[in-house]
Structure 1
């Protein structure tokens, strides 16, 4: 059994999404100390921009594909296999410019370019989504409704791919570095603690479900 972990932050030091994801992974390892964790770090190693070739390649008979199409098809197929080879999932995604990081969208687009990628291919499996936002986007805030990443990611991971999805969220993470947000530091720390608590619980949950299904 294995855990697939995807990181999307372009930072290492100070990355709250990586920090909260570490808590999920630690909880997973507590239940499965010898199980591998397969990582894909899109923040540091984004995929090449070959979505157009992948889409056209999948619509072209194999013997008629250009080399670019063949390579893109092979990449998109391998990304699907990477997911299918895992038993549980961890996705750590920060909110960038009010939406999904472009390198995460590129990854999803390449997967959904394949005939298998738009089906509930992960149905019956469990995963954790770590969502991190620098500001506040909840009800009554000035930016309510500006988070266009969370709803999209939930839709794809849970509804399109079929995951039993658990979510750990932290926001106001820029309070400590943006002077105008200084008054929100206390709320930010509370949100961060809540995210870690949820991450620990979710990590244990998905680990227990994998064991029960084994």
Structure 2
């Protein structure tokens, strides 16, 4: 059995998304001792920013005319796509940055698409847990309702394009405890945290069951 784990936090030592993903992973590995966990951390080991353009242009270039850089980018794109194809289960920990996904995650997703094709169902039926964390509140009735341009994108790529059997764990208000002006939200943030911890454990158990 092979679990693919991806992290995208730029703060790996204090990542709120990793905290939740760790709980889900622990449930999976407890049920599959000795199994393989393939890891990719985009925050601490980012992919080359120009690789997607190189791989994409290479696809429109005659094989004999491809540059070494294009060939390298194509190989990387193929490797990333194969990591998903080979997975029996997937956990992704993807924080919310600047009202969207980080450049690190976007480069990865674009390269996977370059390696597999724009509509390849790489995760068809594969149980997948997406953990996403947001510093503020973006739900109905909040001042920034509708500003979350990350979660819908992630769901489109994972569930609609790659056809994963997707479970989403979303924790908001992660910055309430440390950010001036958010003091009155601390209790609500604590409840969000507790609920997310429980959801992560349950998602890990469900990952095993599926």
TM class by shorter-chain length?
A: over 0.9
Instruction: Quote the Cα distance in structure 1 between the aligned partners of 2:202 and 2:60.
Output: 43
Instruction: Quote the Cα distance in structure 2 between the aligned partners of 1:12 and 1:65.
Output: 36
User: Which residue is 2:125 aligned to?
Assistant: 124
Instruction: Quote the Cα distance in structure 2 between the aligned partners of 1:66 and 1:74.
Output: 12
User: Which residue is 1:32 aligned to?
Assistant: 32
User: In the TM superposition, what is the alpha-carbon distance from 1:111 to its structure 2 partner?
Assistant: 1.1
Scaled by the length of structure 1, the TM-score of the pair is 0.94
Task: Give yes or no for contact 2:81–2:116 (8 Å, CA) kept in 1.
Answer: no
Task: Give yes or no for contact 1:31–1:208 (8 Å, CA) kept in 2.
Answer: no
User: Which residue is 1:43 aligned to?
Assistant: 43
- Superposed, 1:70-81 pairs within 5 Å as 70-81=71-82
The 3-state SS of whatever aligns with 1:13 is: helix
Instruction: Quote the Cα distance in structure 2 between the aligned partners of 1:185 and 1:203.
Output: 27
The alignment yields a C-alpha RMSD, in angstroms, of: 1.1
* Pairing 1:110–2:114 present: no
Which shows bigger deviation, 102-111 or 61-70?
61-70
Task: Give yes or no for contact 1:2–1:88 (8 Å, CA) kept in 2.
Answer: yes
Deviation string, structure 1 residues 100-151 (Cα, Å, up to 9, x no partner): 1110000001111234353112102110000100000000000100000000
The 3-state SS of whatever aligns with 2:185 is: helix
Scaled by the length of structure 2, the TM-score of the pair is 0.96
Instruction: Quote the Cα distance in structure 1 between the aligned partners of 2:4 and 2:209.
Output: 16
Size of the alignment, in residue pairs? 209
Which shows bigger deviation, 117-126 or 83-92?
117-126
The 3-state SS of whatever aligns with 2:181 is: helix
Task: Give yes or no for contact 1:136–1:172 (8 Å, CA) kept in 2.
Answer: yes
User: Which residue is 2:13 aligned to?
Assistant: 13
Task: Give yes or no for contact 1:175–1:182 (8 Å, CA) kept in 2.
Answer: yes
The 3-state SS of whatever aligns with 2:11 is: coil
Task: Give yes or no for contact 2:78–2:116 (8 Å, CA) kept in 1.
Answer: no
Instruction: Quote the Cα distance in structure 2 between the aligned partners of 1:125 and 1:36.
Output: 16
User: Which residue is 1:99 aligned to?
Assistant: 100
Instruction: Quote the Cα distance in structure 2 between the aligned partners of 1:155 and 1:207.
Output: 24
Task: Give yes or no for contact 2:135–2:173 (8 Å, CA) kept in 1.
Answer: yes
Structure 1 unaligned regions, length at least 5: 210-214
Instruction: Quote the Cα distance in structure 2 between the aligned partners of 1:126 and 1:173.
Output: 26
The 3-state SS of whatever aligns with 1:167 is: strand
Instruction: Quote the Cα distance in structure 2 between the aligned partners of 1:186 and 1:13.
Output: 24
